[in-house]
Chain A
């Protein structure tokens, strides 16, 4: 029974980490689209390159944080949460 409980904890953590990393796909697509459009704007108005690059950089940084949140959560779920949860389980069972 204990093995089953630990298995469920580990499986849940791994599934959660996988689900969290789905959020890593969006920023890649979004950043690409934003940069492509910004490049078109630079092509139309080359004199605005500096300000467009600055805005593009800020936009990419903000978009990327979503992916980084997902990454941090996934890493914590894989490496930190199982140990913690198994410890809590053992404590609850008095083992």
Chain B
């Protein structure tokens, strides 16, 4: 399977960000006087897990998008647009499950694929974190914390983009 440039680019950004943030985390542990080899190995494991998890998610999303190859859906007509606007308005007030129902079988199949991918990745994370707990070589805290870094990096990207737009 050919990996799309968008997936490669985003995985690269996340990989760099997670590596830098993990290094900072290990530095903070060292400054706090809690540094030992388990902290380092835990950080390595957590970083690899965070990057691998994001990459697998990218592959899942790409596979879902590829399901639409050759599928031509009709553009929204005026009535559809009014319906979408109405649903968006309702969704802002409270959760509307109705508005999220896919209208094509390919989209339904993509939805199932991503949900399956999510549960698979979650099981992988559980397995790796339990292994980090059981094997005394790894520190569980430094193995678990890097999993939360991708969100911080994405938020940081958003801030940087806004600052650039403001200039």
Assuming the contacts A33-B100, A54-B6, asked whether A43 and B61 have C-beta atoms less than 8 A apart, the reply is no
A-B interface contact total, Cβ < 8 Å:
134
B5 touches A50 (CB 8 A): yes
| Nearest-Cβ distance from residue B34 to partner chain A, whole angstroms | 15
Where chain A touches its partner, the secondary structure class is helix
Residue total for B at the interface (Cβ-Cβ under 8 A): 51
Assuming the contacts A32-B114, A60-B114, asked whether A43 and B148 have C-beta atoms less than 8 A apart, the reply is no
Where chain B touches its partner, the secondary structure class is helix
Contact residue among A39, A49, A62 (Cβ-Cβ distance under 8 Å from B107):
A39
Contact residue among A36, A38, A68 (Cβ-Cβ distance under 8 Å from B108):
A36
Chain A interface residue bracket vs B? 35 or more
Task: Give chain A's interface residues, CB within 8 Å of chain B.
Answer: 24, 27-29, 31-33, 35-40, 42-44, 46, 49-54, 56-58, 60-62, 64-65, 67-69, 71-72, 75-76, 79-80
Task: Give chain B's interface residues, CB within 8 Å of chain A.
Answer: 4-7, 9-10, 14, 53-54, 57-58, 61-62, 64-65, 67-68, 71-76, 100, 102-104, 106-108, 110-112, 114-115, 118-119, 121-122, 125-126, 129-130, 133, 140, 144, 147-148, 150-151, 154
